[in-house]
Amino acid sequence: MAMPLQVLGGAIEELQNFVNQSVSGQATFVQRVFDSTGALVQESSGELRFSRPGKFKWHYFEPYEQLLVGDGDFLWVYDLDLMQVTRVSLDQALGSSPAALLYGSEDIDSYFGLEALSSDGKLVRVRVIPYEESGLFERIEIGLTASVVRNMTLYDYFGQKTVIEFGRFSIPSTFNDDEFTFIVPDDVDLVTQ
């Protein structure tokens, strides 16, 4: 059954509202990666915090601890098991990545094409297609309720699918001044790109 046009148009509006109105926030997440046959190959969980533009902390707790921090200038990826930190320019790292939707600027139309999908009860869905084909993902589907992202499904060019379910989303959130500052620990290797 076809959805009324205004409901589908509302899905893109919900995403735009999230991007325009959520200057800061935090949530928990569970991330599942499925291979091209649909088999679960990895499950992880953690929490995220963000302050637009470009400041975020994506902390994986399970099964391995990893910390990704965007400080506004650089993306720091700290792999605690490897005792290694990788630093990349934030502009280079965000670009048309899924992270740009959550933490980037409000100008998502510059990086993505948006297509409203059918709604499922209170959940509305938007397909997001990066203009840059050199990115990691072919498309992203985002589920929202009340202008808050509830889940993201990322489809890569190899047939893999990554599903991220968000819980306890709190917008806006207040953070300490140093929340998104990363200091490289003394006993850790630093790799710059």
Q: What pLDDT digit, counting tens, does each position of 1-53 carry?
A: 333 333 345 888 899 888 888 889 999 999 999 999 999 999 999 999 999 88
Q: Is 29 within the bounds of a domain?
A: yes
Evaluate whether residue 123 is within a structural domain.
yes
d(CA 126, CA 82): 37
Domain membership of residue 5 (yes or no) is: no
Whether 104 is in a domain gets the answer yes
Class of residue 141 by CB neighbours under 10 A (exposed 0-12, middle 13-18, buried 19+): middle
**Tens-place pLDDT, residues 160-186:** 999 999 999 999 889 998 999 999 999
* pLDDT tens profile 53-75: 889 999 999 899 999 999 999 99
Domain-embedded: residue 122: yes
Do the domain assignments include residue 190?
Answer: no
Number of domains the chain is built from = 1
DSSP 11: H
Torsions phi, psi of 20, nearest 5? -75, -30
- Decide if 171 is inside a domain: yes
Which residue pairs, CB below 8 angstroms and at least 24 apart, start in 151-159? Answer: 152/98, 152/101, 154/98, 158/36, 159/35, 159/36
CATH code where residue 136 lies? 2.50.20.10
Q: Which residues pair with 53 in a beta bridge?
A: none
Domain that holds residue 124: 10-184
